[in-house]
Chains A and B, each alone.
Chain A
Amino acid sequence: MVRNHSDQLMVRCCSITFGILTYCVLSLNTGVVAQEIDALAKQLSSVDLNERRDAAYALADAGPEALPAIQQLAQALEDQDAQVWFQSITAIGKLGPDAIGAAKQVVAHLNSDSQQRRYRAAWCLSSIGCKALPLISESLTDASVRHREAAMLAIGSMGDSCGEEAAKLLGAAAHDQNLEVALAAVKSMVGRKNADLLSDVLLDPREELIEAAAKGLSTLTEIPTSANNLLIRQSESDNVAVRAAAISAMSNAKIDQANLEEILSKNLQSAHPSITNAVILLLKRNQGSPFLVHAVCTGLQSEDPDVRSETAQILASSAVGSEVAEQALLQSLSRSTSDTSKIIDAITRMGDHMAEALLAHESQSDELDRKLALAIAALDQSVIPQLLAALKSDRSFVSARAANALAAMDSLTTEVIDELVNCLDHPIAEVRVACLKALRGQEKLPTGVIDKVHALAGSGDPLTMMAAISVLAQVDPLSERSSLIFDRVSRDSRPELRKALLDGMVKNVSLVDHYSDFLGYSLSDPSPVIRLAAVNVLVSREKCLPPFQEQIFRLVHDDSSEIRSAAVEAISFVDEKTPVLAEQIAHIFPIADQIMLVQLLEVLTQFAKTASGQFGDVASYLSHESAEVRSAAIICLTGIAAEPIDAIQVILPMLKDSDGIVRKDAAQSLGSFESAAKAAVPSLFLMLQSEIDEDAARGALRSIDDAGPEALDVLLPGLDSDDRRIRFYAMFLIGKIGPQAKPAIPKLESMLTETESGRFRETIQQAIDRIKSE
């Protein structure tokens, strides 16, 4: 299948729009009289810029009426002002072939420095039309690359109307030794009637040209037969971009199925996004042809997980509705182990009807089970009836997955809750647990249901009991019956049940007050699972109450790194941040690993000046081998320093750190000290020249908003920088130095006369005024 007719026209139009199509659409032809045109023509050479601009705008609006002003318009192409130039060349272009008298001046602008001007000059020449062709052709001898490029644009834009002569020029330019010129010629061939010109380019040895020609061919609804074999050959190129362009072009070529199948199977062996994109396009343009989909599906059998993922991506983007693709994806899911996410994602994108297949898929791992349930939950709510039916399935894994999917859904209706409640009597524990989990998200449950949950909490099956405890902690935490159950659980020898109660305390803070003793001895429990769950209760409450502080400090030395980390986090929630506590934290530094060290430094930062006694300890970490630790130390020192100068002195050298993030943090920290950190200005100014450091340095310099005389040596050369921003900061900061920056005056004064920018003028003048202010 090919694109419809209107699309073909559109693509052609997009390639070539210059010429007679619409050149006067923006004109507000006001029917200006000849005298007015004369006056406007004279006004074009006025010394007043606004008058010249007004005249140029008016002449551009006048359309063909502006013909008497053609000479002045041609001269106005020498005007230094961009607006006068653009309006003048627009006015010339709107005169069409009658503007041939100005063509020579316009041709000269094909060599402009500005791409916009070259483009507009090319448009103007294309408006003048074939009459300008000899002038353009003559100008090509010894012309610069950009001139030749723009000339190709002009010729291409003239379309087919200039016949063989234009085609010959483009054909010759396509063999230009300069790649840019040849590329411009090839791009200008797109949209012409004679597509053979593009086919010929496929024989050129230069890959960039082949790619451009193939892209050009892909815009056609029908590709010349002569190009078919060449495209097949290019689909085997070593160059990925060429291969991708060739495959894209094939979407409109008459290539037999066997060839296409081979091309796809070879190309799908590399998981390259360009190829993926080209194949998606091929499928989209062929509206998911079963043959093509089948060929693409072979990628799902690859040994390479990346290839399988990219293939899944292709099918999800372009083969929705294809049963072949759906089946292939499901089979692939059975074979895959590590790359299931992309395949599941592709399956869900095939539509909500895939819910059934996702429910029925037999999984070998809990992880895949979880992913499948989440994928089903992400489908439309219209799949809920299917899920409810699945709750009653003979296969327990199907019922459990349906319940897990319901558990992951946002809000459940009464009907769904009723079905989940019925499911609590399911003979298989796995299903009961999934249904309990689904009910856990509810704020309230009817009394009858709670009774059932109470019963399950004492059922004897640990998995069911854990899930029931979790539900009760949320919906019925303080009833007498629940309290009895929780009391029993808190003394139970099975850690998983005690953990369920602690997890319940995370969800429902009111339980903490009732079971604080249990929480206390859980912090010292022999089982690491329980100790971690207990610390997490404190962390979730964002409170580290005094009775637990001693235990928490002990847990900082725990064997489990996870517990140590949670303990440090809990310490950050200690209400009263005293110097003694700060000292205790600093004592942990020597035994802390890198991750914990960063955490401890972050905690200490919250102590602000209360921790100033630890300044020396923290400063020693500025030379730590880990950049993260160095960054955390900088931020900590900024917060705890008794006096800004203490921190500034030690942080300043960090602006030269080997790590970009550390430099950024150092710059931001120094900026926070505002004017007190003006000693940092020379280093920060030098950082402006680095792309990585520029943002941070700029922010810091603005915050410091000051500079001392020692910065002058660094700032002065900045006034000559090619970078506008560096010049700006140099003049701005020199002004801040004040009278001691006198050596900068001559340069600043000359800049004042030269600059066109009002903002620059204002800044320079302020700088000069400050320096002269004594």
Chain B
Amino acid sequence: MISTNKANRREILRGIGLSIGLPWMESLASAAEVSPDTGIDSPRRMAFLFVPNGVHLPDWTPQRSGYGYDLPHILQPLSKVQEDVLVISGLTHDKGRANGDGPGDHARSASVFLTGSQPRKTNGSDIRSGVSVDQVASRLGGKQTRFSSLELGCEPGRSAGNCDSGYSCAYSSNISWSSESTPVGKETNPRFAFERLFGSGTVKEQDQQAEKRRILKQSILDFVLEDARSLQARLGKNDQQKLEEYLTGVREVERRIELSAHADEQQYELDYPVPNGIPGDYAEHIRLMCDMMVLAFQTDRTRIATFMLADAGSNRSYRNINVPDGHHDLSHHRGDANKHAKIREINRFHVQQLAYFLERLKQTKDGPSGSLLDHSMICYGSAISDGDRHNNENLPVVLAGRGGGSIDSGRHIRVENETPMCNLFMSMLERFGTPVDFIGDSTGCLPSLTI
């Protein structure tokens, strides 16, 4: 059955326990949607990507401001999407500082990243932070999609206990908070994320169907073939090709997830056991999660996502790029040039994954004009600037995407020192259509997102 609920602006292929959202297609859109002059905008999306332990700023910050900025070593992988990226220097997360609460910078850095609120120092159940920007957007604008938001990560972390000098693990493992006392747990297994994204019915039904597919070694596409054939007949030539490409893309992601289920043999390279369904290769894990966000945006399953590439203070080693040392250990570099060199390679590796995500968004057409990236705002960064100093000013931040034409991207901007990071969130929420008067410690919008 094909659902034609225009409110969702996306048709859906259905099978038992399945519903595959479709990308925007001209043949199925209303006349108003097809014409770029009618003022009907494609929806805007936002995602927030967190990296821990700060970055090596000398290899991050462009020398030139404005358009045509240089790309230092760490940002070099963004060259193909440079015109869509705004590098922002000078933002601060004041509430990531101790402010009388003593050590625990890493836990604070994650909890403050999207909330801008000082977390209560506790390792008990009385945790308190603030509502995060994604959840503000989700609460105000998330009802139009099946999922109000999507929370992803690569490290499962712990939800309780003492993780950093008296701060609960809930602070260091989460960046998304639906209320002051409720972190939103993240999904770290691509298989589960995929099944939730394309499943329908109750969670139990979805799990049963997923298990059945696994036993029969069938793709989810096998279950919606009939729907797909009937849809093909209604599509123009271009859209037929687009549907084919899209379904091939979904199958490819599914195949990669299957491959990760057989990743046991790779695990000798890791420092810790990895659950079935999580790729042994970290880059592949990140990329699968990025694909999940692209599919979710493309099919309008959600318009809001968060993704922790690693938890706060992560000491993961990066053998895949010949850096066997722990990331956190390295971040306390004490000015050692060798450690700087390794840190910048880790930072660059993370940015390579961001580039993959952005390029995928850019390649994905969205609506009558433009790409997903044109209609998105992707905020990437860390709430610690230098991993050794644990400082929270001049944070490494990029904002990618044109926000539906509301951002003059392709520039490097320097904001005034101590400008709250939350001012960026204010501006993003404005552009997302969910304006607020303040969030966290904001003191206004960031006027420089436009010239």
Contacts and interface: CB of A to CB of B under 8 A. Distances in A.
Partners in one complex: yes
A451 B103 CA distance: 71
Given A3-B405, A6-B41, A14 B410 contact: no
Given A119-B444, A273-B64, A699 B334 contact: yes
Contact of A277 (B131, B411, B435, B437): B411
A757 interface: yes
A141 B286 CA distance: 58
A589 interface: no
Interface string A1-35: 00111110011011101110111011010000000
Contacts of A123: 437-438
A317 B410 contact: yes
A313 B451 contact: no
A14 B430 contact: yes
Interface residues of B, number: 54
B226 interface: no
A82 interface: yes
Given A21-B435, A277-B451, A116 B441 contact: yes
Interface string B108-125: 000000000010100000
A304 interface: no
Contacts of B100: 756-757
Contacts, number: 133
B273 interface: no
A119 B406 contact: no
A719 interface: no
A25 B450 contact: no
B335 A4 contact: no
A57 B450 contact: no
Contact of B102 (A10, A14, A758): A758
Interface in B44-74: 64-68
B392 to A, nearest CB: 14
B66 A757 contact: no
Nearest to A3: B405
B222 interface: no
B182 to A, nearest CB: 10
A277 B180 contact: no
A543 to B, nearest CB: 23
A127 B437 contact: yes
Contacts of A761: 102
A31 to B, nearest CB: 16
Contacts of B441: 86, 116
A3 B431 CA distance: 14
A276 B426 contact: no
Interface stretch (A278-286, A353-361, A501-509, A732-740): A278-286
B271 interface: no
A17 B435 CA distance: 7
B39 to A, nearest CB: 6
A26 B131 contact: yes
A389 to B, nearest CB: 26
Interface in B224-261: none
A524 to B, nearest CB: 38
A57 B435 contact: no
Given A116-B94, A119-B443, A313 B68 contact: yes
A83 B120 CA distance: 10
Nearest to A4: B39
Interface in B19-62: 39, 41
Given A276-B67, A757-B100, A23 B128 contact: no
A193 interface: no
Nearest to A317: B67
A120 interface: yes
B107 to A, nearest CB: 14
B140 A759 contact: no
B155 interface: no
B341 interface: no
A294 to B, nearest CB: 20
Contacts of B431: 10, 14
Contact of A696 (B67, B120, B335, B435): B335
Interface residues of A, number: 64
A317 B68 contact: yes
Given A313-B68, A317-B410, A668-B335, A82 B128 contact: no
A317 B426 CA distance: 27
A83 B449 CA distance: 30
B379 to A, nearest CB: 16
A314 B437 CA distance: 36
A759 B99 CA distance: 11
Nearest to A278: B451
Contacts of B401: none
A655 B110 CA distance: 38
B334 A702 contact: yes
Contact of B437 (A14, A17, A316): A17
B438 A120 contact: yes
A773 to B, nearest CB: 24
B406 A7 contact: yes
A10 B66 contact: no
A668 B335 CA distance: 8
A699 B336 contact: yes
Contacts of A120: 438
Contacts of A26: 131, 136, 436, 439
A28 B140 CA distance: 13
Contact of B68 (A218, A274, A276, A702): A276
A146 B408 CA distance: 31
A712 B438 CA distance: 48
Nearest to A16: B445
B313 interface: no
A346 to B, nearest CB: 10
Interface in B314-346: 334-336
Contacts of B269: none
A441 to B, nearest CB: 23
Contacts of B336: 668, 699
Contacts of A17: 426, 430, 435-437, 445
A218 B50 CA distance: 33
A264 B200 CA distance: 58
B383 to A, nearest CB: 17
A214 to B, nearest CB: 11
A218 B449 CA distance: 13
A759 B98 contact: yes
Nearest to A20: B437
A695 interface: yes
Nearest to B41: A6
Contacts of B404: 6-7
Interface in B396-451: 404-406, 408, 410-411, 418, 420, 426-427, 430-431, 434-439, 441-445, 447, 449-451
A3 B406 CA distance: 9
Nearest to A115: B443
A490 interface: no
Given A26-B136, A82-B118, A11 B450 contact: yes
A664 B16 CA distance: 67
A314 B410 CA distance: 12
B281 interface: no
Contacts of A111: none
A703 interface: yes
A219 B67 contact: no
Contacts of B426: 14, 17
Contacts of B101: 758
11 contacts: A4-B405, A14-B431, A14-B447, A15-B445, A17-B445, A18-B437, A28-B179, A273-B65, A281-B451, A284-B408, A761-B102
Interface of A: 3-7, 10-11, 13-15, 17-19, 21-23, 25-26, 28, 53, 57, 82-83, 86, 93, 115-116, 119-120, 123, 127, 153, 215, 218-219, 248, 273-274, 276-278, 280-281, 284, 313-314, 316-317, 664, 668, 671, 695-696, 698-699, 702-703, 756-762
Given A281-B451, A664-B335, A760-B102, 15 more contacts: A6-B41, A10-B430, A14-B445, A14-B447, A17-B435, A22-B437, A23-B437, A115-B443, A273-B64, A277-B451, A316-B68, A668-B335, A699-B335, A758-B98, A759-B98
